[in-house]
Structure 1
Amino acid sequence: MSNQSTARTFGYIRVSTVAQSLDRQTDALTAAGIDPKDMFSDKISGARESRPGLDDLLSRVRSGDSITVVSLDRLGRSALHVMQTIADLEERGINVVSLKDGENLTGPTGKMMRGLMALVAEWEKDMNAERVAEARAARAARAKKGEQVAGRPRTATAPDTVKKIKKMKERGLSVADIVAQTGASRASVYRALAS
C-alpha cells in the first residue's frame, strides 16, 4: 500500500494558558476537514520546552501525513523553533499546512519563504542573545558600584531590617514608601510589621 492511500491529516492546537479556550482553533480545523479524533492539543505556553500534545502528535505522524494548524506560531516557542520544527517534519516527509493567509509553505515559493524566515529567526536569536549579554554586563557593573540591581525584591527577615521597617512605619512612612526605600517586597514589609 502506498503512502498516498494511508496518509492521514492531523491537527494541532495550542493556547498559552488553561484559562483560554481551544474552541476557536478546534472549530477552524473542523471546518478545514480535520476529524476531532485526529486533533492534538496543549494548554501550555509556547515558551515551555515540553508540550505533551505536540510531542504525542510528532511521535505518531509518518511520511506522507500532514499536520494542519490555524497559525504556524502554534508549533513553537520562537520563529526559529517553528522553522526548525517545520524543517524536521519536512525531512520526515510530513507536510505542514497553516490555515492563516500568507503562511503557505509548500512548493518552491514556500521553500524560499522558509529559508528567509529561518534567516530572520536566526538573526532574531542572535540579537536577543546580544541584548541578554548586555543586560547581564550592565547589572554586574551596577552591582559592583553597590547600586540596587533590578530583579526580585528582597525579603525582610533579618532582625535589623525588621527593626528598621518598624521605625520607618512609626515615623509615618507608608508601606509603599518603605518598599521603595528598602527594596523589600510589600509582603515582607507587612510580615515585618506584624512580627
Structure 2
Amino acid sequence: MTDASPWLVLIALGAFHGLNPAMGWLFAVALGLYRQSRRVVLVSLVPIALGHALAIALVVYAVVFLGMTIDEKAFRIFSGVLLVAWGLFHLLYRHRHRVHIGLRTGLFGLGVWSFVMATGHGAGAMLIPVLMPLERAAMAQGGEHAHHMAATGSLWIATLAVIVHSLAMLITTGIVALIVYQWAGVDFLRRGWINLDLIWSAALIGIGLWLLMT
C-alpha cells in the first residue's frame, strides 16, 4: 500500500468514536467513580473496545463478501443509500430507545452494551467508503478483476482495518476516561459539550451523498 490516507481515516474515525461519551468513556468513568477505583476504569475499557470491534467487524466482513456479488458501481449506490438512511435515522431518533445498563453490570454486559451502541451509531457503516480503496489496491496486487472485490485476497485487509480502527478507539477512550476520572470530572459535560452525535449524523449523510454522486 503506497497510499496511507485510508489508514489515517480509519485512525481518525476510531479517535472520533473514542471521544464520543456515548461510545464508552463516560460509562467507564462512571463505573470507576462508583467503585472508587482507577483500575475499574481501565478494566472497563477492554469489553468496551471488544464490543465496538465486534460491531465493526460484522460490517467490514459483510462488505468483503457482498463486494464479490455485485460490481463496484452498484456497491457504491448501495453503500450511499445505506449511509444516508442510517444518518437520517440517527439524526431523527438518536435520543430514543437508548440502551440502559446499570453500574453493577459485569464485563459481559458492558461488552454487549458497547456492541449495541456502536451498531446503533452505524460505526461500521462509515468504514465502507474507506475500505473501497483498500480493496481496489488489494485487487491490483492480486490481479483480480477490476470491478469485483475478492474476499480471499482482502480478508487480511479487513482484519487489519478492524484492528487499526479499534486500537485508535481504545487509546482515545482510555486517555479521555483517565483525564476525566483523575482531573476533569464529569461536571464539565453539564457546562457544555460538542454535539458529536449531530456531527456524526451529518457525516453519515454527507459521505453517503458523496458516494451516490461520484
TM bucket, shorter chain: under 0.3
Of structures 1 and 2, the one scoring higher in RCO (CA 8 A, sep 6+) is 2
**Rg larger for:** 1
**Greater strand fraction, Structure 1 or Structure 2:** 1
* Larger helix share, 1 or 2: 2
TM-score of the pair, normalised by structure 1: 0.28
